[in-house]
């Protein structure tokens, strides 16, 4: 059965968004609203909605609605986003949603209540990209294979997930992954321990442990595809026994070290996967964000835990407030 979709703003922009992203295939066009009842009725008749409302509040109160699209003007957008989330409905809206300090405070309240997973911030192009990814057979097949492999590993007590990153510009992605996995899956005595490691720097500290230490880890390599790098090794600074580095660019040298580690991992049967970035643009990063989020959600289902709350962290917040008072 399709979920019921409603829209707060009865305008062509909203309809175009629905059509561009094929939402009519995923959801039932259930209701629309406007501050003018006649406008809402006409919009409903023209675009095939089952119901219409002459106020945004009345639409939000409808218990049959599961998803609401809110493309209202910025000045009033957050007010109705807030009301929708408080009713525990899912809402799709666009940037920006916060326009003043009071709204920022209310945003924090929603976060503290654990309602933010119901908020989907999108723009038209990127939402369509996500929709296309979700229907891409290769994307879904790769996702399922990774989830199955990781779940098999953690069932064997191999539950340390090491991000071995060979591009410093991707460090923040690693920190984001760490927060996502630790906070989403670390519950009920279960979880995956996400560890950040940086190559080739950690070759001189942690790599010995990774290769010959406890076999309780699986690895994800972050690296860039081979490209020309302006930074090259000068002949003047290398000794005679390292002439093979002459005119090699820095990316080539880093990739060589990364590839060497992967070859030894294969020899030692250490589980790993490789994520290679070509452009590091919005499309590429958005796809990997989508992949990791879906991977985490699917793993949470297999582990029988709720990925959307942080009960232990909330305990710390309460205790901190007790000390501050």
* pTM strictly above 0.75: no
Q: Which CATH superfamily is domain 136-313 in?
A: Glucose-6-phosphate isomerase like protein; domain 1 (3.40.50.10490)
How high is the pLDDT of residue 138?
85
Q: Where in the chain is the domain with CATH 3.40.50.720?
A: 3-124
The answer to whether 205 touches 234, Cβ cutoff 8 Å, is no
- Cα(200)–Cα(271) distance, rounded to whole angstroms? 19
Dump pLDDT digits (tens) for 142-174.
999 999 999 999 999 999 999 999 999 999 999
More confident residue, 262 or 250: 262
- Cα(294)–Cα(143) distance, rounded to whole angstroms? 8
How high is the pLDDT of residue 242?
74
How high is the pLDDT of residue 229?
61
Region class of 147: left (phi > 0), else alpha (psi between -120 and 50), else beta: alpha
Nearest to 285 by CA among 177, 182, 194, 192: 177
Of 5-9, 161-165, 308-312, the range with the lowest mean pLDDT is 308-312
Average pLDDT over residues 270-293: 88
Tell me the pLDDT of the chain averaged across its residues.
Answer: 87
Dump pLDDT digits (tens) for 214-250.
999 999 999 988 665 666 766 666 776 776 777 778 8
Dump pLDDT digits (tens) for 13-41.
888 888 887 888 888 999 999 989 999 99
How high is the pLDDT of residue 265?
98
- Cα(158)–Cα(152) distance, rounded to whole angstroms? 9
Tokens of 141: 């097949």
Dump pLDDT digits (tens) for 74-116.
889 999 999 999 998 989 888 778 878 888 788 878 877 777 7
Q: Which residues are catalytic?
A: 183, 204, 317
- Cα(34)–Cα(54) distance, rounded to whole angstroms? 5
What is the sign, positive or negative, of the torsion defined by CA atoms of 40, 42, 47, 48? positive
pLDDT at 1 over 80: no
Predicted confidence band of residue 48 (pLDDT cuts 50, 70, 90): very high
Dump pLDDT digits (tens) for 202-216.
999 999 999 999 999
Q: Where in the chain is the domain with CATH 3.40.50.10490?
A: 136-313
Element (H, E) at 301: helix 282-303
The count of other CB atoms within 10 Å of the CB of residue 152 is 11
Q: Pairing between strand 51-53 and 67-70?
A: unpaired
- Cα(29)–Cα(45) distance, rounded to whole angstroms? 12
Backbone angles phi and psi of 96, in degrees to 5: -85, 160
Tokens of 205: 């500290």
Percentage with pLDDT > 90 across the chain: 55
Q: Which CATH class is domain 3-124?
A: alpha beta
């Amino acid at each position: 059965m399709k979920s019921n979709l409603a829209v707060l703003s009865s305008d062509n922009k909203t309809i175009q968004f629905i059509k561009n992203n094929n939402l009519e295939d995923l959801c039932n066009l259930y209701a629309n609203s406007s501050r003018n009842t006649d406008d809402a009725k006409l919009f409903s008749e023209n675009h095939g909605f089952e119901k219409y409302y002459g106020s945004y509040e009345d639409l939000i109160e409808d218990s049959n609605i599961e998803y609401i699209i809110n493309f209202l003007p910025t000045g009033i957008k957050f007010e109705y986003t807030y009301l929708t989330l408080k009713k525990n409905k899912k809402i799709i809206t666009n940037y920006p949603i916060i326009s003043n300090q009071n709204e920022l405070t209310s945003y924090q309240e929603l976060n503290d209540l654990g309602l933010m997973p119901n908020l989907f911030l999108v723009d038209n192009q990127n939402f369509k990209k996500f929709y296309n990814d979700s229907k891409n057979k290769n994307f879904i097949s790769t996702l399922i294979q990774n989830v199955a492999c990781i779940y098999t590993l953690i069932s064997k007590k191999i539950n340390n997930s090491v991000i071995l990153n060979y591009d410093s510009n991707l460090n923040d992605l690693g920190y984001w992954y760490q927060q996502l996995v630790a906070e989403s899956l670390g519950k009920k005595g279960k979880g995956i321990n996400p560890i950040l490691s940086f190559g080739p720097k950690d070759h001189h500290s942690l790599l010995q442990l990774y290769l010959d230490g406890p076999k309780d880890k699986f690895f994800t390599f972050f690296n860039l595809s081979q490209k020309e790098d302006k930074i090259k090794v000068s002949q003047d600074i290398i000794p005679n026994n390292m002439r093979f580095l002459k005119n090699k660019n820095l990316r080539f040298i880093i990739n060589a070290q990364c590839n060497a580690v992967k070859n030894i991992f294969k020899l030692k049967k250490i589980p790993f996967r490789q994520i290679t970035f070509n452009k590091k643009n919005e499309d590429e990063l958005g796809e990997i964000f989508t992949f990791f989020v879906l991977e985490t959600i699917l793993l949470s289902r297999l582990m029988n835990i709720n990925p959307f709350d942080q009960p232990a962290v909330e305990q710390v917040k309460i205790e901190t407030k007790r000390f501050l008072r």
